[in-house]
Amino acid sequence: MDRLMDVLNLLSILILISAFILVANKRMNSYIKTFRLQSIFLAVIAAIFSLYHIFEEGRLEGVIVIFFLIVSLKVVYIPNKLKTITKKVDYKVEKDFFVNIPISVIICCGLVIMTWYVISRVTDINDAYNSRFLIYSISVILIGLFFMISRKKAIGQIIGFLVIENGMFMAAMLTTSGMPMIVELGIFFDLLTAVLIMGVFVFRINESFESIDINKLRNLKG
């Protein structure tokens, strides 16, 4: 049990590091590759849970369904779809970020520190492992949010949203060892639909505005 917790601890830190790598990227293809890496780590977490349940308790938990869903959707399907979108869309936006990279990384460090402080003030999380898992998950969510607001290309916003969802799944799996199956399935399909709809809108933005620079969407004010 302790070894399980140690392995999960290592994987969750790797996910956090991959979030930092995402912020430090500059090109759209690297965004997608880093997201794929993060999803692979998440899938490994799900796999470890299901293997643990198979070996220790001798039964097949629902987590194995989640493992297959993560692998098929987040590692294979969604990154491929995003790649096809980026190929079809004209990305001549010069400087993609509002804040330059070194300062972004420092801001992300600040976010992790802030999360650590906030969770340490929540007095009722007794388990040391749980509190750390919660800190890493919420940090990944906040870094995903920061990524979303600091990039000008519409694809960056979709990737940021997907990273936020990765953080959610991390939180759900690590702290509560999985929410009820119907909820997890529903969340997956909701997110898939959200990404597909956002993809459609990226096409429409590209057609109407001749670029996917979010800064150009300024008609509605006041």
Decide: is 179 part of the binding site for another protein (CB under 8 A): yes
- Interface pick for another protein out of 27, 175, 213, 215 (rule CB under 8 A): 175
131 binds another protein, rule: CB under 8 A: no
Site for another protein in 188-207 (CB under 8 A): 190, 193-194, 197-198, 201, 204-205
The rounded Cα 125 to chain-centroid distance in angstroms is 24
> Between 58 and 222, whose beta carbon lies closer to another protein?
222
The b-or-e profile of 84-114 (16+ CB within 10 A means b, else e) is ebbeebebebeebbeeeeeebeeebeebbee
Considering beta carbons, is residue 48 or 172 the nearer one to another protein? 172
| Cα dihedral across residues 105, 110, 115, 117: positive or negative | positive
Q: Does 117 bind another protein (CB under 8 A)?
A: no
**139-169 burial: b if 16+ Cβ within 10 Å, else e:** bbbbbbbbbbebbbbbbbbbbbbbbbbbbbb
Residue 100 or 190 having the CB closest to another protein: 190
Residues touching another protein, count (CB under 8 A): 43
Instruction: Find the shortest distance in angstroms from Cβ 89 to another protein.
Output: 14
Angle, vertex CA 216, rays to CA 213 and CA 217, nearest 5: 105
Give the nearest distance from C-beta 179 to another protein in angstroms: 6
Interaction pattern, residues 41-80, with another protein; x per rule: CB under 8 A: ----------------------------------------
Query: Of 208, 211, 213, 215, which lies in the binding site for another protein, with binding defined by CB under 8 A?
Result: 208
Longest dimension (CA), the chain: 61
Could you give the CA distance from residue 218 to residue 173 in angstroms, rounded to a whole number? 39
From the list 28, 67, 68, 3, the residue with the least C-alpha distance to 159 is 28
Distance separating alpha carbons of residues 157 and 74, to the nearest angstrom: 16
- Return all residues near 43 (Cβ < 8 A) that are at least 6 apart: 67, 70, 71, 74, 75
In the complex with another protein, which residue's Cβ is closer, 102 or 220? 220
Give the residues lining the site for another protein (CB under 8 A). 118, 121-125, 130, 138, 141, 145, 148, 154, 157, 161, 164-165, 168, 171-172, 175-177, 179-180, 182-183, 186-187, 190, 193-194, 197-198, 201, 204-205, 208-209, 217-220, 222
